[in-house]
Structure 1
Amino acid sequence: MPAEHHDDRHEHWAQQEQAAASASRDLADVPAVEVITTTAVHLMSAAAVKLGLADDPAMQTDLDEARKLINALAGLITAGAPEISDAHARPLRDGLRSLQLAFREASTIPDAVGKGPGEKWTGPVT
């Protein structure tokens, strides 16, 4: 391997390591409630896109991917809700329920009640 290629790779790793250290310092200052809610919002947004609720439904809809994201979101909200205030948890639960209902509506073969995405943690959504 040429020396200059090795140096470029070393510099790249050094920059990545520095960025990771900076992110860790930044996260140390962020309250847990903010990390939980921000993560939930990212999962909600991704699930909405995969449900075809964004700009290009024909190209972006993927119900298998949406199911995975909704399951992860339901687990996070169920586990995280006791750790954050009801004022933070309530809108997250409402958003999750809306996504679960949108999934049921988008499915050509609906899941049995209680077997839809996230219902293992939330209970049946009808």
Structure 2
Amino acid sequence: MRNITKILLAMAVFVTSVTVVAQGTVSGVILDSEINTPLPGASIIEKGTTNGTTSDFNGNFRLNTQNSTGELEITYVGYATQTIAFSGDQDLGSISMESTEFGLQEILVTASVAVDRKTPVAVSTIKSADIDLKLGT
């Protein structure tokens, strides 16, 4: 009975240590490539998982990864998506995002004003004979 307990304990320690080793921390700074300013709110996702984070106001991010190696997918509205490989605990440094230039077609907005009426409410004149006819009396 003691041998079974020792074996189960050893297996539990081994499985736990493998799980801990398979994780890492990846960090970096997301910047605009043209003017070198931080991009707050950029989305950083570990590819193939739902694990992700967003960059802070200064463009910094820190992500505890589920795998020791893999790829990060970095997206930001108006910028081209980037995929960057990582392995273990790694500081990726500055990551420059390039803007995707696209334009919208010109639109024309027109408006008109309602014509003022002589009276502000609708008024109808009905004769008493018409009212009696409709009431049936």
TM-score with structure 2 setting the length: 0.24
Task: Name the structure where helix makes up a greater proportion of residues.
Answer: 1
The TM-score with structure 1 as length reference comes to 0.26
- Bigger radius of gyration: 2
Select the structure that is richer in strand: 2
